[in-house]
Amino acid sequence: MAIKVTKFGGTSMASAESINQVANIVNADKSRAYVIVSAPGKRFKEDIKVTDMLYSCFYDLEIKGECAGNFNKIRERFMGIVKDLELDFDIVPYLDQVEQDMIDNNSAEFCASRGEYLSAIVMAKKLGFEFVDAKDLMVFSPDGEFMPEETNAKVKQVLKNIKKAVIPGFYGADQYGTVHTFSRGGSDVSGAVIARAVKASIYENWTDVNGFMVTDPRIVPNPKQIPVLSYLELRELSYMGANVLHPESIFPVRKEGIAINIKNTFDPQNPGTLIVPEVNPDEVKGRVVTGIAGKKGYSIVFISKSMMNSEIGFARKVLSVFEYYNVSIEHIPSGIDTLSVVVADSEIAGKEEVILEKLRQEIKPDHLELKSGIALIATVGHGMCFNPGTSAKLCSGLAKVNINIRMLDQGSSEMNIIVGVSEDDYEEAIKAIYYAFYN
């Protein structure tokens, strides 16, 4: 029988009301066999996520050796949820144990993981499914690195005889039982890992939005929803800041070609966004641009030197300077006598002067300049391949609103055009590109 793996995010787990909604969704389809949950998130704008409260507990423990004040807020949260769900189950002994374990364990990762742990216990009771602890499934190395192949084997072995289970997201453990977490939002990765191991027919990722929008709705009001996109398009968009799904979620499911369906717990009839290995072109006829995403906080090192194109090893010398100073590079657009290196501000911060000086020594440029305050915008879509006029449309869209393009780079896959603009122009540039393709 086809098995579906479902993951519910923090807003879906935030209150008894939303948890009831989750239970309705799971119960509506018998193939929804494995349920991965986040810790309770925000119920309203000013609310605090349980994971954030748990980090506060850790800081309390570091400073005062106890965390009763912050932990009491977590107690209240969970006790309220269990009461409102009218479950015949006493969560207090679990809460007591967690508080004691946090005092004994005193690690940030252990503390942070307890939100998912408790959330999964509650959900398992609500659904009548077995609770399977993520520490027995997700394998990390003692220095905290996730180990995908070991995990895959372990999940297969443990879940072989468990037909329905609720599993906490976000964490796992090493061979000594020490708990480690993924980066924030990592329950998405946990769900993808489980989906791969059980060869799920689909990985449903339930959140609080109707999937991916073509661009950021905080910038463009009511942008179009993306019904379907490919793994590659998702990778490009999420790398550039489209953050509906943790960017690392793609790797486990890609290995088995499993589609991800982003769905909205609060609007379950909406089809959401389907992420597939390859989009069938007939399904998206006429679509040139799938999505537009961007980020601020980049710098560009502009280098020019006449005859650089015939100087063997020139690019290597430039790149080795960045490597020497341990700076990761985003893009390297080049012309005949020019080469630009785009880096994130966070990578180059504090090293600007020494890098420029080293470049001067190594490559003796005619001109060398660092420009900060750059925003990068990725316009992504398989439909752009072999579609003449796409970059012209994009550039004239920007020109119409008087935005100067500081850098333009088209990936060799032809499915991604990156433009660099001044950070002050960022929002206007996103709007201009969106309206150039969607009007």
DSSP 372: E
- C-beta of 39 vs 308, nearer to ligand ASP: 39
How far apart CA 94 and CA 90 sit, in angstroms, is 8
Site for ligand ASP in 107-166 (CB under 6 A): 115
Q: Which is nearer to ligand ASP, 10 or 365 (CB)?
A: 10
Q: Can you spell out the DSSP letters for 277-336?
A: SS--GGGGTT----EEEEEEEEEEEEEE-TTGGGSTTHHHHHHHHHHHTT--EEE--B-S
Q: What is the largest CA-CA distance in the chain?
A: 78
**Count of residues that interact with ligand ASP, criterion CB under 6 A:** 14
Residue 191 CB, nearest approach to ligand ASP (Å): 9
Nearest approach, Cβ of 208 to ligand ASP (angstroms)? 12
Applying CB under 6 A, the span of 134-142, 183-191, 218-226, 335-343 interacting with ligand ASP comes to 183-191
List the x/- string, 240-259, binding to ligand ASP by CB under 6 A. Answer: --------------------
Does the protein bind ligand ASP through residue 12 (CB under 6 A)? no
Joined together, the tokens standing for residue 118 give: 């408790």
Angle at 59 between CA 50 and CA 140, to 5 degrees: 70
> How many C-beta neighbours within 10 Å does residue 255 have?
13
Judged by CB under 6 A, which of 32, 33, 102, 186 binds ligand ASP?
A: 186
Nearer to ligand ASP by Cβ, of 184 and 400: the residue is 184
Q: Please report whether residue 191 would count as binding ligand ASP according to CB under 6 A.
A: no
Q: How far is the CB of 37 from ligand ASP (least distance, A)?
A: 9
CA 229 remoteness from chain centre: 16
Instruction: Choose which of 151, 187, 299, 416 interacts with ligand ASP (CB under 6 A).
Output: 187
**Which residues touch 28 (CB under 8 Å, ≥6 apart)?**
none
Rounded Cα distance, 145 and 123, in Å: 28
Distant-in-sequence, close-in-space partners of 283: CB < 8 Å, separation ≥ 6: 228
| Shortest CB 243 distance to ligand ASP, Å | 11
If one asks whether residue 51 binds ligand ASP (CB under 6 A), the answer comes out as yes
Query: Which residues, numbered 57-116, are part of the site for ligand ASP (CB under 6 A)?
Result: 115
Q: Which is nearer to ligand ASP, 168 or 211 (CB)?
A: 168
CB 151, min distance to ligand ASP, A: 17
Rounded CA gap, 240 and 380, in Å? 10
Alpha carbon distance 252, 258 (integer Å): 9
**Shortest distance, position 219 Cβ to ligand ASP, whole Å:** 24
Q: How do beta strands 273-276 and 165-168 pair? A: unpaired
CB of 66 to ligand ASP, least distance (A): 23
Interface with ligand ASP by CB under 6 A: which range of 57-65, 185-193, 310-318, 408-416?
A: 185-193
Tokens of 56: 């506060």
Site for ligand ASP (CB under 6 A): which residue of 140, 170, 206, 314? 170
Is 184 a binding residue for ligand ASP by CB under 6 A? The answer is yes
- How do 338-344 and 329-331 pair as beta strands? antiparallel
Q: Which is nearer to ligand ASP, 188 or 330 (CB)?
A: 188
Task: Return the SS3 of 44.
Answer: coil
Q: Binding segment for ligand ASP among 147-155, 178-186, 205-213, 380-388 (CB under 6 A)?
A: 178-186
| Terminal Cα distance for the chain, rounded | 44
168 binding ligand ASP? (CB under 6 A): no
Which positions lie near ligand ASP, rule CB under 6 A?
Answer: 9-10, 38-39, 49, 51, 115, 169-170, 184-188
